[in-house]
Chains A and B, each alone.
Chain A
Amino acid sequence: MAIELQPLEQFTIERLVPLHIGRLDVSFTNSALLMTIAVVLITALLVLGTRKAALVPGRWQSVTEMAYEFVANMVDTNAGHGARDFFPFVFTLFMFILFSNLLGLVPYSFTITSHIIVTFALAAVVFIGVTIVGIVRHGFHFLRLFVPEGVPVALLVLLVPIELLSYFIRPFTLSIRLFANMLAGHTMLAIFGGFAASVGLFAIFPLGINVLLVGLELLVAVLQAYVFAILTCLYLRDALHLH
Chain B
Amino acid sequence: MDLASAKMIGAGLACIALVGAGIGIGNVFSALINSVARNPASQGLVQPFAFLGFALAEATGLFGLAIAFLILFVF
Question: Could you tell me which A residues sit within 8 Å of B by CB distance?
Answer: 1-3, 5, 7-8, 173, 176-177, 179-181, 183-184, 187, 220, 223-224, 226-227, 230
Of chain A, the residue at the smallest CB distance from B56 is: A227
Q: Which of B56, B62, B73 contacts A5 (CB 8 A)?
A: B73
| With contact pairs A184-B65, A184-B69 given, residues A2 and B4 touching in the complex (Cβ less than 8 Å) | yes
Minimum Cβ distance to chain A for residue B18 (Å): 10
Contact present for A7 and B66 (CB under 8 Å): no
Are A3 and B62 CB-contacts (below 8 A) given A226-B55, A227-B55, A230-B52? no
List A contacts of B66 (CB < 8 A): 176, 179-180, 183-184
Whether A223 contacts B51 by the Cβ 8 Å rule is yes
* CA gap between A5 and B63 in the complex, in Å: 20
CB < 8 Å: which of A1, A173, A226 contacts B4? A1
> In the complex the two chains form, what is the Cα distance from A177 to B52 in whole Å?
13
Pair A181/B4 contact, Cβ less than 8 Å: no
Within B18-75, the residues touching A (CB, 8 Å) are 51-52, 54-56, 58-59, 62-63, 65-66, 69, 72-74
Count residues on chain B whose CB falls below 8 Å from chain A CBs: 18
Residues A180 and B63 in contact, CB atoms below 8 Å apart: yes
Q: In the complex the two chains form, what is the Cα distance from A186 to B46 in whole Å?
A: 30
> B residues near A, CB below 8 A?
2, 4, 7, 51-52, 54-56, 58-59, 62-63, 65-66, 69, 72-74
Q: How far is the CB of B34 from chain A (nearest CB, A)?
A: 22
Residue among B2, B52, B63, B74 making CB contact with A227, cutoff 8 Å: B52
Whole-angstrom distance between the alpha carbons of A183 and B7 in the complex?
19
Q: What residues on B are CB-neighbors of A2 within 8 Å?
A: 4
CB distance from A87 to the nearest CB of B (A): 18
- Alpha-carbon separation in the docked complex, A183 to B66 (Å): 7
Distance (Å) between the CB of A180 and the closest chain B CB? 4
* Contacting pair A8 B59 (CB below 8 A): no
